[in-house]
């Protein structure tokens, strides 16, 4: 049950983009069409899930025994950077069209706040390894949900008459704000009402 | 060449304002802008990290091999962020806990890596330091403006730092009784950012039209 609570928390209640604002750069940058949004969402989900488990292991098996907790930020970002590099090579090999489509944004996952964010949140919440895995997966899924919804909104916005000064980024932010307003319906009380904790 | 140095300093204020014009590093801008004091704390963190990362990277620009420059920059930035975290934890614990996860996330703040890549790796130490100061001031103005609007309209207060008898929180009479709560919540940040960005875009295009 605790795992379902974590899933619900990170997908809906504390959605990474709409509530915590982690990963806004790719959210605004890659959400112009839904195909790229799905690709970006999938790669972010993969990276957050793997990174959660790997950073958890590094923290508890390497940093804690040697009392090096203060190296958390430094070691996490290096691990994430190498992971992204690996993912880049894998995608290039498996699906060249997807690699071409994501192009510049794939290396940017390294500097995606969502990935380092979930790694740090796992440690702050003192999750065990399974919980960290679930949280990483859920954070990625929440990111994917938001970016795919956003890309659909923006595809429609392209066909609408929008005032010139609002075109592009401003209207994207305002749409995201309205979406966040809808996501406020998912409240913390959802977890207690469903008797998940 | 004095004019050139001034230009490096002032371009970050308005012309290349990192928040509203380049639109980089928005996670902390929207995440911690619920209170003015958090915005100032965040600016201090970004200022310290950006200034020293620009100086160090500019000093090492001829030493770092091109193929591994990004990892090298990240190590420099991450070390500086760790220093900032430890200093803030020790001296301003309230700000440290208010900034929470956004403080270590300065590492992945696009402004810092962006300036290292676009500016410090190609320019002298003096210019890089001036660029960092200008960009930090631009960042500070952006985040403080958003925090001011969100806190004033969202809860009718302005939170600064407690000094002596002054408790740190100023209540603004009329706004305190009629708060627009949504502004202090997450959706308000996104909506406000949208309107402010539209305003700045309009302002830029109006100036170009003249």
Which residues 95-134 of chain A have a CB within 8 Å of chain B?
107, 110-113, 115-117, 120-121, 124
Which residues 56-75 of chain A have a CB within 8 Å of chain B?
70-74
Question: What whole-number percentage of chain B has pLDDT above 70?
Answer: 96
Pairing mode of beta strands B157-159, B169-171: antiparallel
Contact across the interface for A176 and B190, Cβ inside 8 Å: yes
Instruction: Please report whether residue B156 resides in a domain.
Output: no
Question: Which residues make beta-bridge pairs with B166?
Answer: B163
Q: Which residue has the tokens 């794939």?
A: A106
> Which range marks the domain in which residue B138 is found?
2-146+182-192
Beta carbons of B27 and A23 less than 8 angstroms apart: yes
Beta carbons of A22 and A28 less than 8 angstroms apart: no
The pLDDT value recorded for residue A35 is 81
Nearest to A173 among B27, B101, B190 (CB): B190
Instruction: Please report whether residue B163 resides in a domain.
Output: no
Beta carbons of A177 and B191 less than 8 angstroms apart: yes
Nearest to B105 among A78, A81, A116 (CB): A116
Query: From first to last of its 197 residues, what are the pLDDT tens digits of chain A?
Result: 788 888 888 898 888 888 888 888 778 877 888 888 888 888 888 889 989 999 999 999 999 899 888 888 889 988 888 888 887 888 788 888 877 766 556 676 776 788 888 999 999 988 999 999 999 999 999 999 999 999 999 888 888 888 888 888 888 889 999 999 998 888 888 788 877 76
Exposed/middle/buried for A189, CB within 10 Å: 0-12, 13-18, 19+?
Answer: exposed
Instruction: Please report whether residue B203 resides in a domain.
Output: no
Contact across the interface for B70 and A23, Cβ inside 8 Å: no
Q: How far is CA A65 from CA A60, A100, B5, B83, in A?
A: 7, 43, 49, 22
Residue B56 token pair: 């160090």
How far apart are alpha carbons A135 and A122 in whole angstroms? 7
Contacts of A23 in chain B (CB under 8 A): 27
Q: How far is B196 from chain A (nearest CA, A)?
A: 8
Beta carbons of A98 and A39 less than 8 angstroms apart: yes
- What is the torsional sign of CA A153, A18, A16, B33? positive
Other residues' Cβ atoms within 10 Å of the Cβ of residue A172: 24
Other residues' Cβ atoms within 10 Å of the Cβ of residue A87: 17
Other residues' Cβ atoms within 10 Å of the Cβ of residue A102: 22
Q: What is the pTM of this model?
A: 0.86
Report helix, strand or coil for A15: coil
Q: What are phi and psi of A132, to 5 degrees?
A: -65, -40
What value, to the nearest 5°, has the Cα angle with vertex B131 and ends B89 and B45?
A: 10
Give pLDDT tens digits for B20-70: 877 777 888 888 888 888 899 899 999 999 999 999 999 988 888 877 888
Question: Which residues make beta-bridge pairs with B159?
Answer: B169
Reference A23, options A129, A142, A128, A103; nearest CA is A142
Which one of A10, A20, A21, A176 would you mutate to disrupt binding with B, by most B Cβ within 10 Å of its Cβ?
A: A21
**For residue A17, what is the nearest residue in chain B, using CA coordinates?**
B27
Report helix, strand or coil for B170: strand
Nearest to B201 among A19, A81, A165 (CB): A165
Residue B147 token pair: 């925090």
Instruction: Please report whether residue B46 resides in a domain.
Output: yes
The pLDDT value recorded for residue A1 is 75
Q: How far is A193 from chain B (nearest CA, A)?
A: 23
Reference B26, options A38, A28, A83; nearest CA is A28
Nearest to B26 among A25, A81, A120 (CB): A25
Bigger pLDDT: B37 or B10?
A: B37
Beta carbons of A18 and A185 less than 8 angstroms apart: no
| Interface check A77 vs B, CB under 8 A | yes
Q: How many structural domains is chain B composed of?
A: 1
Contacts of B78 in chain A (CB under 8 A): 73-74, 77-78
Instruction: Please report whether residue B199 resides in a domain.
Output: no
The pLDDT value recorded for residue A54 is 92
The continuous run of DSSP H or E covering B45 comes out as helix B36-59
The pLDDT of residue B192 is above 70? yes
The pLDDT value recorded for residue A101 is 65
Nearest to A184 among B23, B185, B194 (CB): B185
Contacts of B147 (CB under 8 A, 6+ apart): B32, B33, B34, B35, B36, B38, B39
How far apart are alpha carbons B114 and B194 in whole angstroms? 22
Contacts of A112 in chain B (CB under 8 A): 108
Q: What are phi and psi of B11, to 5 degrees?
A: -65, -25
Contacts of A70 in chain B (CB under 8 A): 82, 85-86
Nearest to A111 among B110, B191, B193 (CB): B110
Instruction: Please report whether residue B17 resides in a domain.
Output: yes
Instruction: Please report whether residue B50 resides in a domain.
Output: yes
Instruction: Please report whether residue B65 resides in a domain.
Output: yes
Q: What are phi and psi of B52, to 5 degrees?
A: -75, -35
């Amino acid at each position: 049950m605790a795992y379902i609570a974590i899933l619900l928390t990170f997908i809906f209640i504390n959605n990474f983009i709409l509530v915590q604002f982690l990963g806004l750069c790719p959210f605004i940058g890659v959400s112009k069409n839904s195909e790229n949004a799905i690709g970006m969402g999938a790669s972010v989900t993969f990276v957050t899930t793997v990174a959660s488990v790997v950073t958890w292991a590094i923290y508890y098996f390497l940093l804690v025994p040697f009392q090096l907790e203060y190296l958390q930020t430094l070691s996490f970002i290096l691990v994430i950077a190498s992971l992204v590099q690996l993912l880049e090579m894998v995608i290039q090999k498996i699906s060249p069209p997807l690699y071409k489509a994501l192009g510049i944004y794939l290396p940017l996952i390294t500097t995606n706040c969502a990935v380092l964010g979930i790694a740090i949140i796992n440690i702050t919440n003192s999750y065990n390894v399974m919980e960290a895995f679930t949280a990483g997966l859920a954070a990625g899924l929440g990111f994917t949900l938001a970016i795919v919804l956003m890309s659909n909104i923006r595809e429609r916005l392209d066909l609408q008459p929008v005032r010139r000064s609002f075109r592009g980024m401003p209207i994207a932010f305002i749409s995201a704000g309205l979406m966040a307003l809808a996501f406020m319906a998912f409240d913390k009380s959802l977890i207690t009402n469903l008797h998940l904790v | 060449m004095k004019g050139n140095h001034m230009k490096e300093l002032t371009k970050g204020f308005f012309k290349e304002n990192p928040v509203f014009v380049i639109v980089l590093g928005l996670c902390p801008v929207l995440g911690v802008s619920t209170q003015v004091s958090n915005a100032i704390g965040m600016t201090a963190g970004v200022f310290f990290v950006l200034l020293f990362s620009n100086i160090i990277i500019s000093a090492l620009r001829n030493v770092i091999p091109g193929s591994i420059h990004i990892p090298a920059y990240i190590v420099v930035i991450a070390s500086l962020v760790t220093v900032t975290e430890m200093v803030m934890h020790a001296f301003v614990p309230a700000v440290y806990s208010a900034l929470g996860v956004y403080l270590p996330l300065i590492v992945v703040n696009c402004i810092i890596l962006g300036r290292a890549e676009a500016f410090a790796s190609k320019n002298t130490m003096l210019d890089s330091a001036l660029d960092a100061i200008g960009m930090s001031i631009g960042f500070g103005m952006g985040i403080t403006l958003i925090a001011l609007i969100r806190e004033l309209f969202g809860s009718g207060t302005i939170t600064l730092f407690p000094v002596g008898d002054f408790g740190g929180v100023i209540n603004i009479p009329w706004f305190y009784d009629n708060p627009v709560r949504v502004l202090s919540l997450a959706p308000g940040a996104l909506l406000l950012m949208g309107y402010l960005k539209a305003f700045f875009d309009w302002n830029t295009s109006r100036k170009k039209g003249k």
